[in-house]
Amino acid sequence: MTKVILFSATILLFFACNPGKPSEDAANKDENPVAAVADPTKGIGQIKNVNLHNPLELDRVNRGKAIYEMKCSACHKLTDQRVVGPGWLGVTKTRKPEWIMNMVLNIEVMLEQDPEAQKLLELCLTRMPNQNVSIGDARDILEFMRQNDGEQ
């Protein structure tokens, strides 16, 4: 029974996340104003600066864990194991906080224009669906990721 549910969920994710063909308008655009960023390692989107706090904000960590369990855990593991999407272990050590939040909040533009996001898409072969999280939710997810990477 578990295998049937897992197979069904995988098929559903495949069809829900199928990118389709880009529109002609998107292909003919010379430049997207959102793409103009001062630091390309921060990704593309509205998040330009994140102030991290030490020690971790435990309320944010707990909210981030709840969001992870509800919206992220089907595709992302807390280890380095790739399932549908890449594992989260070490992500806060290799990516800037702004990049992580922009990836969560602005997935469509990131996958179309950010070279690092495009590399992840090539690796995983499945587009991450827009989870419709708020900026606050994305910040909570980031704080949970920091805890997962061993920050206190």
Give, for all 152 residues of the chain, the pLDDT tens digit. 554 444 444 444 444 444 443 333 333 333 444 444 468 899 999 999 999 999 999 999 999 999 999 999 999 999 999 999 999 999 999 999 999 999 999 999 999 999 999 999 999 999 999 999 999 999 999 999 999 999 99
Q: What is the pLDDT of residue 20?
A: 43
Each domain of the chain, given as residue ranges in start order, spans 53-152
The matching CATH number, chosen from 1.10.645.10, 1.10.101.10, 1.10.760.10, 1.10.10.10, for 53-152 is 1.10.760.10
Output the pLDDT for position 40.
Answer: 87
85 vs 123: CA distance, rounded Å: 9
The pLDDT of residue 16 is: 46
Q: Which of 83, 61, 15, 124 is nearest to 103 (CA)?
A: 124
Q: Burial of 41 by CB count in 10 Å (0-12 exposed, 13-18 middle, 19+ buried)?
A: exposed
One-letter identity of residue 141: I
**Quick one: tokens of 124?**
């995983």
d(CA 57, CA 32): 35
- Cα dihedral across residues 42, 45, 48, 54: positive or negative: negative
Q: At 68, list the tokens.
A: 């992870």
The CA distances from residue 143 to 23, 57, 61, 108, in Å, are 36, 7, 5, 23
Report pTM: 0.75
What local confidence, expressed as pLDDT, does residue 38 receive? 65
